[in-house]
Structure 1
Amino acid sequence: MTRALSFFIIDESKANIALITAALHKQNYDCEVLSESNVDSALARLMELNRNDKNSLPNVILIGRLDSDLNAIGVLCYLSTAKISEHSVAVVICGHTDYNDKALYLNNGAEHVIAWHFDCKELEDGLRIFEEYAEEMAAQ
């Protein structure tokens, strides 16, 4: 039995969460998707998983649009400080203007940065980076 790749989406737009979830389910790998639109609640949930059972942490944390004071860089730093990034891959999904800050995201702990300008095909193409990762998970 192959294990599905688990994703946790943090995005303050429920519409974005729905679009990202739909794009994930169109991929060539099995996935489980959890999400949270409140950044503080998302981080609290991840901390609880980290404290109780590190194996229950998601394989991938997708960080989308955040309008709160805690932006993607803040979330990445938090994940690193809490050592959650040792167990979960952090990926930033951002608009093309924020994509100019790709190096900043990568230097602060993001494994990948996916550009997305609300084109579903573009998002689906960006999420294909996890196909190889899903194959590795299935082989375990």
Structure 2
Amino acid sequence: MTGNRDEAGQGADWLDEVFGRLKTLTDQAIAVVAAAEAPTDVAEAEKRARAVGVLARTAKAVAALKSRPARKTPDEDEMSEDDRDVSDAELAGLQAEFFARVDHLVGGFERKSLAAGLGREPAARGEDPGAEGRDQGGAEVERGSVLVA
């Protein structure tokens, strides 16, 4: 792990050095354009405007190098401070929200099935109510036990 930090540190140092060089070169290019004589015709004005636009994009790109945070390595992602255990109250709240959404979706499917003339009742489809885990009542009991656990 320390090897990754060393490489990341070297990369950051190198990027700082590159930033300094690019900033100096950009400043020199801006000085050249600023010191040039004022344009006397439309063609010269257009050429100068293009140069100013290029320098503006260049300055923005160079500044972005400095403001960009260092990239994390996969090892650092695993050690993130954002990793935390969820409290029982938070877990219960998340589970309740999840099951409410599932129930909402199931209700929508049931409404659409009824509108299409398909019954939800196992007898309407000629099935055994407990066949192949299709016992809808059992799903509620199972779901309730998850919330308590």
TM-score band (shorter)?
under 0.3
Identify, as 1 or 2, the structure richer in strand: 1
TM-score, normalised via structure 2 length? 0.21
TM-score, normalised via structure 1 length? 0.22
Identify, as 1 or 2, the structure richer in helix: 2
